[in-house]
Amino acid sequence: MDVFAFNASLSMCKDVAGIAGNIFAFGLFVSPMPTFRRIMRNKSTEQFSGLPYIYALLNCLICLWYGTPFVSHSNTMLMTVNSVGATFQLCYIILFILHTDKKNKMKMLGLLFVVFTVVGVIVAGSLQIPDQLTRWYFVGFLSCGSLVSMFASPLFVINLVIRTKSVEFMPFYLSLSTFLMSASFLLYGLFNSDAFVYTPNGIGTILGIVQLALYCYYHRNSIAEETKEPLIVSYV
């Protein structure tokens, strides 16, 4: 009875962490909306790049496949968050293609074809692996690698913040959402004993803490410098 109660509590904690991760991830998925409102208003993609949405779609599709019962067990929350994420990224890509020039249209369509081809090869290839454990390792390492590379992208922003001593290019709420989502899925992976979930999200959590610490440090310094400036500047 005690073992049953423990397993039930563990399952509940896993579900709570997964639901929290889904909610925080939704905040990340909607964050590009102001950019696309601007694109639609100006009917031009200007200098914006569509590559982040292509890569995010690839990442979501690989992680979605990992979350299915064909590959892993009891990962429903991974399926929901990545199916929603893939839908958002696909919508962003379509909007980008509709509002960009002909050269970029062809480039984005080509990349979209590559994404679906790669995912198709991964799905078909993994289904050819008869052993469930080997299939889990194969897709798990691909999923883990994809997530680690995604979480590593803020390193460029962190480097920029340190060089410029400014948090202008590192929005606070985006950094906070990334941290909360990573921390939630870190707990989800731990409660589910899934190394391919808690390892990359553990890295994401650490990077999220670094981003928030840098934001607090440089934002506080910028406020301190502003308060030192005289309210009235005399030119006499």
Over residues 93-107, the pLDDT tens digits come to: 999 999 998 888 999
User: What pLDDT is attached to residue 221?
Assistant: 63
- pLDDT tens readout for residues 48-81: 888 889 999 999 999 999 999 999 988 999 999 9
Tell me the CA end-to-end span of the chain in Å, nearest whole number: 84
Record the pTM: 0.85
Alpha carbon distance 183, 188 (integer Å): 9
pLDDT score recorded for residue 231: 43
- C-alpha 70/C-alpha 108 separation (Å) is 30
Are residues 92 and 57 in contact, defined by beta-carbon separation less than 8 angstroms? no
Average pLDDT, the chain: 86
Instruction: Indicate the residue type of 120.
Output: G
Q: Please check whether residue 150 is in contact with residue 7, taking contact to mean a CB–CB distance below 8 angstroms.
A: no
Check residue 185 and give its pLDDT: 96
Cα-Cα-Cα-Cα dihedral sign, residues 87, 90, 94, 95: positive
pLDDT over 70 (residue 1): no
Give the H or E element holding residue 136. helix 132-152
Provide the pLDDT for residue 226: 47
